Amino acid sequence: MIVTLTQQFNFDASHRLDHLPSHHPCHNLHGHGYVVFVEVTGEVDPKTGFLIDYREIYDAVKPLIDQLDHHHLNDIEGLPIASTEYIARWLWERIKPKLPILSKITISETPLTRCEYRGE
């Protein structure tokens, strides 16, 4: 039986999108309460009834969320642009080696928008 599990994480951070014209509101320094959904997909172990213990997902992801939480995203190493698209890839590249069954990262900056990334 193949299933997908999703675990939610949250972090608050500031950013500015310097490449946008100065009249664009996202050019200015501002912040978001980001919501991250980490999805894993795979075969359920018939002995445990689990695909994976949620605790293992938490242990793989939380240290990365801590690197972003209450930080200025423009200062994060390896993040060339502080957009949700690049944050999703930044998380993917760091989580996938620890969690090979990672199947999707979704990031929401506002309740009305979200970015989904499944690797290249």
Q: Cα–Cα distance between 2 and 89 in angstroms, integer?
A: 25
Region from 18-26, 45-53, 83-91, 100-108 binding Zn ion, contact rule CB under 5 A: 18-26
- Which residue is catalytic, options 26, 39, 56, 116? 26
Q: How many helices (H) and strands (E) does the chain have?
A: 2, 5
Question: Which is nearer to Zn ion, 72 or 98 (by Cβ)?
Answer: 72
Which among 1-9, 20-28, 68-76, 99-107 is the span making contact with Zn ion, rule CB under 5 A? 20-28
How many Cβ atoms are within 10 Å of 113's Cβ, its own excluded? 10
Catalytic site residue 26?
Answer: yes
Residues that contact Zn ion, how many (by CB under 5 A): 1
Q: Which is nearer to Zn ion, 46 or 111 (CB)?
A: 111
Residue nearest to Zn ion (CB): 26
Q: Are 39 and 102 in contact (CB under 8 A)?
A: yes
Cβ proximity to Zn ion: between 26 and 35 the closer is 26
Look at strands 30-43 and 71-72 and give their pairing. unpaired
Give the range of 23-31, 48-56, 62-70, 99-107 binding Zn ion by CB under 5 A.
23-31
Q: Do 95 and 38 meet the contact criterion of CB atoms below 8 Å apart?
A: yes
Which residue among the candidates 19, 43, 70, 93 is catalytic per the annotation?
A: 70
Judge contact between 105 and 87, C-beta under 8 A. Answer: no
